Amino acid sequence: MAESKYHIKIHTSITEIPAQLWNSLVTPDTVPFLEWEWLAALEESGSIAPETGWQPLHFCLWESEKLIAAAPFYLKANSDGEYVYDYFWAEAAASMKRQWYPKLVGTVAATPAEGYRFLFASGIDSKTASAIILDAAESFCRKNGIVSLNILFADPEWAKDLSSLGFMPWEHSHFLWKNPGSRSFDDYLALFSKNQRKNIKKEYRSPAEQGVTIKIVTGEEAKEEHYRKMFELFTLTNDKFIPWDARWVNEDFFLSLEKTYRKGTAFVESSRNGRIIALAFLVRKGGRIWGRFWGAYEEVKNLHFAACYYTPMEWCIRERIHFFDPGAGSPHKIRRGFKSVIDRSWHKFFDPSLERLFKGNIANVNHYEEENRRLLNAELPFKQLE
């Protein structure tokens, strides 16, 4: 593709780009969080905005009025809500009297899910288009005193060319469940060691023994009440257990999804005596689901395990969904069948001191992460590991 045919435009809101144009670049294997509806729900609700620390700067490649490629970026003056915890790098930079911020970040805001990449029109040379956008992003950074360009939760196939463009990889881990092709949940449990199989059965039965009914409610089946209650429950639980962590998404975010993205959402509804007492929020596309939010009005023993892990697993087996990403954190997921798997962020620095800091230490950081992942996976409670 001849670069001279195209021009880059930086959009400060996803709504500057018509949904139909943006989604024309989306393919079946694009993660749902890169679709216009998800990005618009974040931005139009005010959840992700300059006032909350996220300045949208979406780099788009145009041929006249035709959108050729698109890359969601955000300008950040801190690292809050990124879920790639670079605070120790920032502290090291400060000790050197160097600035770690501002930085330009390619990611889906407040969404720790692997799969971020640029989007391309059909027939476009994606490698060349990526290079054009990244060159424009680098020029923008250098011109405006932005110290680094960062790609978080990168799609591994798309990101394989980033090292040749001067980016350095930082390894992280997240948890992932892979459907082994079992015919039922009991069939799946047969893969576990005897003790852990017994433990999971006990945890899964426990809410029902306390009078709680758990079921999947798809987005099409859900009522507006589900979306409203999801915000209320998520807020209540977040404030109770992790009050230091910003919630990021507000009620309007959920109500926006209710209007525009029912097809990609589902709830795990827990109720007692006809009253909803807890909800888990799932996102689905193709053969994958992602667990994104959870909240409960009251504490019920083992309800979190049953609603957030086992019920979605059983749904995956029934619906032949291949992968389940349960969300960030919590090593206790290992004992319930989730494997610790690698994901990467990619970083390029425009301050030579920061580049030396990162380049001189990242091998040790990555080695530590790899060793931690190995130790976690050694605790997987299966009779035979793959």
According to CATH, the superfamily of the domain at 180-321 is Gcn5-related N-acetyltransferase (GNAT) (3.40.630.30)
Q: What is the CA radius of gyration of the chain?
A: 22
The pLDDT score that the predictor gives to residue 386 is 42
Predicted TM-score (pTM) of the model is 0.96
Task: For residue 101, give Cα distances in angstroms to 116, 351, 365.
Answer: 22, 11, 21
Structure tokens at 372: 């931690």
pLDDT tens over the chain, length 386 residues: 545 689 999 999 999 999 999 999 999 999 999 999 999 999 999 999 999 999 999 999 999 999 999 999 999 999 999 999 999 999 999 999 999 999 999 999 999 999 999 999 999 999 999 999 999 999 999 999 999 999 999 999 999 999 999 999 999 999 999 999 999 999 999 999 999 999 999 999 999 999 999 999 999 999 999 999 999 999 999 888 776 566 799 999 999 999 999 999 999 999 999 999 999 999 999 999 999 999 999 999 999 999 999 999 999 999 999 999 999 888 999 999 999 999 999 999 999 999 999 999 999 999 999 999 999 999 999 986 44
Please tell us whether the domain made up of 3-174+342-377 is placed in CATH 3.40.50.300. Answer: no
Give the orientation angle of helix 224-241 with respect to helix 251-260, to 10 degrees: 150
Query: Could you give the maximum distance between any two Cα atoms of the chain, in Å?
Result: 67
**302 and 291 in contact (C-beta within 8 Å)?**
no
The torsion angles phi and psi of 79, rounded to 5 degrees, stand at -115, 10
CA dist., res. 250 & res. 228, Å (int) = 10
Q: Is the peptide bond before 102 cis (omega within 30 degrees of 0)?
A: yes
Fold: same for 3-174+342-377 and 180-321? yes
The pLDDT score that the predictor gives to residue 243 is 64
**121 and 165 in contact (C-beta within 8 Å)?**
no
Structure tokens at 64: 């006249």
The torsion angles phi and psi of 244, rounded to 5 degrees, stand at -80, -10
The pLDDT score that the predictor gives to residue 241 is 79
Domain boundaries, the chain: 3-174+342-377, 180-321
The pLDDT score that the predictor gives to residue 245 is 62
The pLDDT score that the predictor gives to residue 384 is 62
**Strand pairing category for 58-63 and 66-71:** antiparallel
